[in-house]
Structure 1
């Protein structure tokens, strides 16, 4: 996220956040009095299985921080999260912050979005030592498809069922990848996930980062 401080009688920030899986940055106006043109709650994504809403506002106790409220609704279950974004120092770079953390992270995804930020196709998966699988979603002639597939299915390309190959190719096209690129990525991921020593070390490093950052 990048925050721009607006000099005025009323303290304000214009926040722009863009991650590697979002095609267009989202601009959010954060006003100290939470009045117009304060953005308030907005829909970040609205899928049949999950709706995400965000809200950014100044922290009342310390205006050096902007609160990031996230509300996730899955059916009748609503989860809310609160994070603090420090905005009093100059922006570094996405590489200096986001990408370094993404080198070690226990949730991976490769996603495509439309110009409004809505998910259209992709894959995502948690890093696990057992029951290793990923979710793939895409649009087909029969509507939106969402499949759970095991990584070990992709260890040997010649043994992958034709139906699965066809679905991967459809997702590949909607991710705007080169022909066969997604299938190649999945084979490499399957090999990596099968390396138990590497996966154990990766998850241990991620756990240490989580513990070190707790309370910060």
Structure 2
């Protein structure tokens, strides 16, 4: 998002997010939901123990490869670009609030992407998603230098941020579902 922001303004070295927002994003707003993914299971434990050949895919080194890295990079560029470009385009009259607009869409996008990656929900996953959302909304009140509550509480802000979040995440979910339908993972035969 920073690269797109700088490119749109003649590569000016102006930071989009500063201070508490950067610290909050890396420690408070995304830490618990992303970390909760360690509780996710592709297959139940009894099936994994019954079919050890499921681990064969992991030994081939395909999980973390250059292809995986570059696909993650492409996803990041798409999402960051979509959020930044749509934030500026949809809110061109409220450019003063571009930080709160794009940052809210970024946090919501991250929470949504974590939720879409989960195969088997666990109560701590649900708790981490809900708690993070409440913490973010609550922190808007305590960080008035970054968030103008009069602007945030308008219907325009809510629906436009929802559109930005959907455009940045929904196409990726559709691609993921199509890939699972036409090239299912090996464990899908065992889970039904």
Normalization by structure 1: what TM-score?
Answer: 0.26
Higher helix share: 2
Bigger radius of gyration: 1
Q: Which has the higher contact order (CA 8 A, sep 6+)?
A: 2
Normalization by structure 2: what TM-score?
Answer: 0.28
Higher strand share: 1
